[in-house]
Amino acid sequence: MSMIINGLPAEVPLDPRVSLLDFLRDDLRLHGTKKGCDQGACGACTVLADGERILSCLALAVQYEGRSVTTIEGVGTATELHQLQQAFIEHDGFQCGYCTPGQICSAIGMAEEIRRGVPSHVTDDLDAPTMPFCAEEIRERMSGNLCRCGAHNGIVEAIAATFAALPEAEAAE
């Protein structure tokens, strides 16, 4: 049984009780994904599974057999940052950085949800051909990712600067 992690094959743990978060951090030593609450309340553990954002603390590793998982290590590197990572730097989107990997993975998944036309709780027109990419939508859609340092204003600015001005196909990358 295997899955793909950041483009590379990995053996799924035999113990079916192991969470995807613990598998990433403890077995694969991918410490970019953070453990905050370990109960689905903070978003620090957000990763992408086949492009969709998920909370890895609430997922069992065995559930993702055959799937492709992307962690922050697969989003960008220190020498080749994703444009959203660069925007977090430019817009002061972090302080301690603990929530940042989850914020970035979540925002990438969120941009794809908007591109697909998935409405949020604050979307006025559910039949609109394109979903708005405004600050109100970003705040609502990112409300599951908490920042204890209070960097939310910079986070929203960085996400807007990265995705709001991009063509649809590019925003999904």
SS3 39: coil
Q: ∠ CA 82-108-164 to the nearest 5 degrees?
A: 90
As measured in angstroms, the least distance from the Cβ of 52 to ligand FES is 15
Where does this chain touch ligand FES (CB under 6 A) — which range of 22-30, 62-70, 96-104, 156-164?
96-104
Instruction: Report the 10 Å Cβ neighbour count for 107.
Output: 27
What does residue 166 show for φ and ψ, rounded to 5 degrees?
-90, 150
Give the nearer residue to ligand FES in terms of CB position, either 24 or 147: 147
The residue from 11, 16, 41, 128 that contacts ligand FES (CB under 6 A) is: 41
Residues 138-157 close enough to bind ligand FES by CB under 6 A? 147-149, 151
Q: Which residues lie near ligand FES (CB under 6 A)?
A: 35-38, 40-45, 55, 57, 94-100, 147-149, 151
